[in-house]
Chain A
Amino acid sequence: MEINKEKLDEIILKYGRDKAHLLAIFQDVQKEYRYLPKEAVRHICMRLGMPQVDGFEVATFYKSFSLKPRGKHTVHVCLGTACHLKGGADVLLSFMRELKVKTGETTADGAFTLESVNCLGACALAPLVRVDEKDFGKTTVAQSRNIIRDFTDHH
């Protein structure tokens, strides 16, 4: 993976080259690449003057970072308590069947990455699915196909 070091430095400088902002730096970098390239982690650690192992510790501790490339769209199926009780697991299984991947995996064509999440904070509309930045409430097994189709058309 070819990373743009200037862009990285720009982000690092935005946060005052401060180790305390490591999470924020990672978040911004991940937004840029849709994942956190290992190369980027190494470069950031070098710039912040910290051991790589500390950078990778943070990158692997937090669920929101992914060191693996992600698909064009990320499907987050909520498995929070409210969603679980209203069939969130069935919705997740259905996405697995339709996309032919397991949670955490990306489809072969690179279009979708499937993830589960513990509550998206719209529990009254359970079960919830978030694709990229769009939320879908009261989803059903049947609807999962439509959601995939909606996003397949535009990419």
Chain B
Amino acid sequence: MALSLKQLDSITSAFNAKEQAYDKIIRVCCGTGCITSGANRVLEGVLTAVEREGLSSKVLVKKTGCHGLCERGPIVTLGNDEILYQSVGKRDVAADVDLLLKTVTEGKVADKLLFRDSARKEKYTSSLDIPFYKGQKRIVLAMNGLINPEEIDDYIAHGGYRAPFRAFQMTPEEIIDWVTKGGLRGRGGGGFLTGRKWSSARAAKGGLKYVLANGDEGDPGAFMDRSLMEGNPHAVIEGMVIGGYTIGAQQGYIYVRDEYPLAVSRLTKAIEQARDYNMLGHDVFGSGFDFDLEIYRGGGAFVCGESTALMSSLEGKSGEPRDKYVHTVEHGLWDKPTNLNNVETWANVPHIINNGLDWYTSIGTKKSTGTKIFSLVGKVNNTGLIEVPMGISLREIIFGLGGGIRGKRQFKAVQTGGPSGGCIPEQHLDMPVDFDSLTSIGSMMGSGGMIVMDERNCMVDVARYFLRFLTEESCGKCVPCREGTRRMHEILDRICKGAGKIEDLMHLEELGKALQWGAICGLGQSAPNPVLSTIRYFSDEYKAHIIEGRCPAGVCKEITTFTIMEEKCTGCMRCAAECPMGAIIGEKKEPQRIDDLRCITCGICYDVCSFDAIKIG
């Protein structure tokens, strides 16, 4: 039997009553990042301790999805964000669990576990005060870190699954009109208007139709979709139910990257629970409409994130894209009308339906409404997952939320858009982050990877890195992409090895044009972006490699040596202790020397030296 709106409300009251019966709630983040840092041990420790102390009826221990501040994991919160503890159990699980319990029983805040902002040298008790969170607008991520993603009642108690009831009161055309007027643009990278896509898919002729969620997240260095699928899987399902109803599809598929086993297991559980409540299956929500979902695991190919390749992969074939003159909204999966959206796009839909157009369009900019989730990583102080209103400047993100560049280094560039995007230099830091602005400066919004680099990162190497990636991931179907990426990579590799010629820059630009014009899918068409954007903004660095045969950042191994300047070295031996190869020789308090035969030019010595005594040559 389908649940009524009233029943959802009673599930909510029952759930809330159950939680309110406890004096305190301890939430342990069990997102992938925190698990890597040992969250499972912390969870176990807390559960055992609560039981041992006879607190089981007073203290509720919950596991949640990703909180965002992944680098400082495991994260534990108490109450409703009253206290945030970080790096819990990093050194000693038992000791930290004791501190946690003391906070719960005696109200004693454990100073040692509080978040310290390294840039601001301040410490914070509540996450609401931490700049990393304060600058965010968490809508799609609001429930991450709050609810247990494996418990559907928790989602319902936080307002979940109300949107389909509203949607089913509307006609599909009305929904399309809302989504269009709300200005929702695809979060998968291209920024295509979602309402327009839905409208074509609805109009397409054919009995069977499909809706798909793209959870392939191929952009290396990004994990927004992963945290969403793991931390709040029901939001994706809820959006897809509405989408299915709108375009008239009875079946949906979620395509998830093979590297994300936890996302697969959380989504699987969520789908089962939704089926039990008849939110999926026959006559969903008592609407007379049938809709079901299935998960499909990818095979570790970047190109399968591309819409036509994804569909081919879903059919059990190799994931080769095809030309786009045949539109997938008419001829998609199994040649049927198919609507594909990114998982974050889907998760936005319930919010638009629930809160209305005026609310949604008041967030963000005129042409890019709402929020965007970014994975802020690289050389910033606070790395992790953030959700910000569109239109915020890059500077606010990197220097506000991110707390600026790590250590004594300077900002050099920020990479957005993954292998299809580009590197943005200092001069454009005040650019608003929206679809059109980022494209105008030679990068793109992409799916949300934001990788910050300092002067120890080489821009030519970054370009080479992306082209190596694209050479490996090009499916090989079309010649411009297969050969073009390879030739570009060869040239870049030559430059990195100090064997480049000045004409190479011109060749790179020519090849780039050929790819933009000739490749059949987005992979090849946007492949030149990482190269062209770095040539555009960092041509000096290219020239240093080509003309002077040196890598200013000290990254390109063939043309880099590190030397210790005798006059500056104090013989503190810090570098000798950190060198993984034992390549630093010398007596204590005496100037040190690097043994070139052992040196692997990793540059750790340079990074740890407090006296600037090491020179990049």
Contacts and interface: CB of A to CB of B under 8 A. Distances in A.
Interface in B278-298: 296-298
B258 A27 contact: yes
A70 B535 CA distance: 41
Contacts of A19: 316
A89 B319 CA distance: 28
Contacts of B378: 82, 85-86
A119 B315 CA distance: 25
A121 B299 contact: no
A123 B375 contact: yes
Contacts of B475: 61
B71 A118 contact: no
Interface in B141-196: none
B222 interface: yes
A90 B314 CA distance: 36
Contact of B296 (A24, A81, A86): A24
Interface stretch (A4-12, A106-114, A135-143): A135-143
Contact of A62 (B37, B226, B300, B415): B300
Interface stretch (B199-207, B342-350, B449-457, B565-573): B449-457
Nearest to A76: B259
Contacts of A20: 314-316
Contact of A94 (B218, B220, B580): B580
A84 interface: yes
Interface residues of A, number: 47
Interface in B67-101: 70-71, 73
Interface residues of B, number: 59
Contacts of B297: 23-24, 27
Given A62-B299, A85-B451, A142 B318 contact: no
B87 to A, nearest CB: 12
B71 to A, nearest CB: 4
Contacts of A63: 299-301
A90 B554 CA distance: 14
B602 A80 contact: no
B533 interface: no
B277 interface: no
B260 interface: yes
A64 B32 contact: no
A93 interface: yes
Contact of B383 (A58, A119, A124): A124
Contacts of B300: 62-64, 117
A101 interface: no
Nearest to B581: A141
A81 B299 contact: no
B35 A81 contact: no
A11 to B, nearest CB: 14
Interface in A133-154: 133, 135-137, 140-142
Most buried by A among B217, B257, B319, B580: B580
A142 to B, nearest CB: 4
Nearest to A97: B600
A124 to B, nearest CB: 4
Nearest to B319: A61
B220 A119 contact: yes
A128 interface: yes
A41 interface: no
A19 to B, nearest CB: 5
Nearest to B603: A87
A126 interface: yes
B313 interface: yes
28 contacts: A20-B316, A23-B296, A23-B299, A23-B316, A24-B297, A57-B317, A58-B318, A62-B319, A63-B299, A81-B449, A85-B451, A118-B469, A119-B222, A121-B217, A121-B259, A122-B223, A123-B377, A124-B33, A124-B71, A124-B375, A124-B377, A124-B383, A125-B71, A125-B73, A126-B377, A137-B36, A141-B581, A141-B600
Given A61-B319, A62-B300, 12 more contacts: A24-B296, A58-B316, A62-B301, A63-B299, A81-B449, A83-B221, A85-B453, A121-B226, A123-B222, A124-B71, A124-B384, A125-B36
Interface of A: 18-24, 26-27, 54, 57-58, 61-65, 79-87, 90, 93-94, 117-126, 128, 133, 135-137, 140-142
Interface of B: 32-33, 35-37, 70-71, 73, 217-223, 226, 257-261, 296-302, 313-319, 375, 377-379, 383-385, 415, 418, 449, 451, 453, 457, 462, 465-466, 469, 473, 475, 580-581, 600, 602, 604
Shortest Cβ-Cβ A-B pairs, 4 listed:
A62-B299, A81-B221, A80-B220, A61-B318
